[in-house]
Amino acid sequence: MDTTISKLNIEQAKVSKIDQVDFDNLTFGSVFTDHMMVCDYKNGSWETPSIMPYQALMMEPSARVFHYGQAVFEGMKAYKDDNGGVWLFRPDENFNRINASCARLAMPEFPEEYFFESLKALLQLDEAWIKKGYGNSLYIRPFVIASQPSVMASPSEEYKFIIILSPAQSYYGGEVRVKIAEKFSRAADGGFGSAKAAGNYAGQFYPTNLAKSEGFQQVVWTDSNTHEYIEEAGTMNVFVRIGDKLLTCPTSDRILDGVTRKSVIALAEDQGIEVEIRPIKVSELLEGVKDGTLMEMFGSGTAAVINPILGFGYKGERYELPKLQDSYAVRFKDQLMDIQYNKAEDKFGWRYQI
Ligand SMILES: *Cc1c(COP(=O)(O)O)cnc(C)c1O
């Protein structure tokens, strides 16, 4: 094993489960590979990372994560090119973000070399699970949980940093019509909406279920103070095209600073598309529908890359967006995937080879 890390415990699985997996019928996030990485934080430092067979965790029911939700995660993907090369996309961004999320939840930061070296070793061991072919990938889920047994409401002194891997197929998010939030909020000023923290998602399920019962697939959150400005969706940042101009709202302590979002902005600006990063009023969308200048809306995130939004609901009314031949959504999805699968020039230095 070619690793530069001096200490990394590796226990290989005796048998692989890969032959039992139907790679043509994968449900997102439900099948996991043969190995996982676990690293414990105790007595003020991270111990030696261990790669071991994927298995259940043994934790005391008093472990703090179960009571106070001290938990953060990341979502990234590994891609295999036609020659068998394995690539990550801007993994430094995910590494920095999980540490920013940790800091916001009073959790210790994880060392960079532990992250990259253990992730590399894990991907090399489970390489056969990364299937070639446009759209196939291995979804990488790093997460950190508070493991110390204690129900005292204060930060844990023990944690587990874990990485699990799940094979994923070309993910088409399907027809997405969104409900624009009028009452519920995902995050508030001074809160932790910008952290990929477990609790941010738990709080969305109930309002999202209500929206689903009205026939929408997702909620586009609005600012918690006035509900007049759109912010982002469940696990996607939101873009709006008015005329030929591309708009997205600024990041803040309420909004997740998406890697796909910043990549779309970079691509658009590089191609001479006018990009405005500013608060976007719901009323602008309504006016845009009325005068025909609202061309498209789409979400951006690692899972689906770009997910076109076909329509939205607001205050009991439903609005449909035009069906475009040459949409920005399709253009940026193709361009991003070409970079991710090593099919296009990597002008910005985003690819990272395993
Ligand atoms: C993960 C996530 C995104 C998208 O981030 P990417 O880095 O592009 O995957 C956007 N919004 C929320 C709330 C998220 O959790």
What residue spans define the domains of the chain? 9-170, 176-340
Structural domain 9-170, CATH architecture: 2-Layer Sandwich (3.30)
**Confidence band of 173 (pLDDT split at 50, 70, 90):** low
**Confidence band of 3 (pLDDT split at 50, 70, 90):** very low
Chain segment 193-242, per-residue pLDDT in tens = 999 999 999 999 999 999 999 999 999 999 999 999 999 998 999 999 99
Mutate to test the pocket of ligand 1, among 205, 236, 252, 305 (most ligand atoms within 8 A of CB): 236
232 Cβ below 6 A of ligand 1: yes
The highest-level CATH class for domain 176-340 is alpha beta
Nearest CA residue ID for atom 2, ligand 1? 235
237 Cβ below 6 A of ligand 1: yes
Longest dimension (CA), the chain: 64
What dihedral do alpha carbons 338, 343, 347, 352 form, nearest 10°?
A: 90
**Which atom of ligand 1 is found nearest the CA of 94?**
7
Q: What percent of the chain has pLDDT over 90?
A: 94
302 Cβ below 6 A of ligand 1: yes
**Rounded Cα–Cα distance for residues 144 and 64 (Å):** 12
220 Cβ below 6 A of ligand 1: no
Chain segment 77-95, per-residue pLDDT in tens = 999 999 999 999 999 999 9
What pTM was estimated for this model as a whole?
0.96
Chain segment 321-345, per-residue pLDDT in tens = 999 989 999 999 999 999 999 999 9
Classify residue 305 as exposed, middle or buried by CB count within 10 Å of its CB (0-12, 13-18, 19+). Answer: buried
Residue 118: predicted pLDDT: 97
**Which atom of ligand 1 is found nearest the CA of 261?**
8
Chain segment 245-259, per-residue pLDDT in tens = 999 999 999 999 999
pLDDT reading at 32 higher than 80: yes
